[in-house]
Amino acid sequence: MTLYTTLADHDLVAFLKDGDKTAFTEIYNRYKGLLYIHAFNRLRNQQEADDVVHELFTTLWTKREDMFLKTHLSGYLYQAIRNRIIDVISHKKVESAYMVSLQHFIDKSEAVTDHLVRENELAALIEKEISALPPKMREVFELSRKANLSHREIAAKLDLSEMTVKKHVNNALKILRGKFGLLTVLLYISHH
């Protein structure tokens, strides 16, 4: 019987790659404390430090067969925990920026309301121009942009060739771009 606590890291990794749960447990017991201390020193939050350590070991187990060590196991684990810490810190920065942005949005709600009124007016103008398209072109365009059907699906539904569908969509976009400009049309399409 193998005494796992006496094995070197590279032996434990070999057993781990073969799916040996006892080797995994030994790696976990050997490194969890050090990795937690490192994570806690950087994050200053027990729950986040616990989470990154557990996430690391979960990934270590699920991706054990694909694991390739360029260095010692300790270096690999240290780098992996460092990357996870950086991800958490980056996520916090994004979250913080989002909260600042949200507060700014709330503070500027009157400007937003004015913007929405203009956006709705523009959408109504674009809808008016879409309804002025030739009937078949309009039908194809609306199926493409509003119903989100592929050219193939539209062709099958309307008994047309895919090339004809593509031509109708391109012509409709060309007409709308000519009237409103590319950016306006793209913004409108992305909202519908």
Quote the CA–CA distance of 13 and 8 in Å, as a whole number. 9
Give residue 118's pLDDT.
Answer: 72
CATH 1.10.1740.10 fits 4-105, yes or no: yes
Give residue 109's pLDDT.
Answer: 63
List pLDDT tens digits, range 5-56.
999 999 999 999 999 999 999 999 999 999 999 999 999 999 999 999 999 9
Give residue 191's pLDDT.
Answer: 54
DSSP 69-97: -SS-HHHHHHHHHHHHHHHHHHHHHHHHH
Average pLDDT value over all residues in the chain: 85
List pLDDT tens digits, range 145-170.
888 889 999 999 999 999 999 999 88
Domain limits of the chain? 4-105, 109-191
Give residue 144's pLDDT.
Answer: 86
Coil, helix or strand at residue 9: helix
Q: Which CATH number describes the domain made up of 109-191?
A: 1.10.10.10
Give residue 57's pLDDT.
Answer: 96
Sign of CA dihedral 155, 160, 163, 168: negative
pTM of the entire predicted model: 0.52
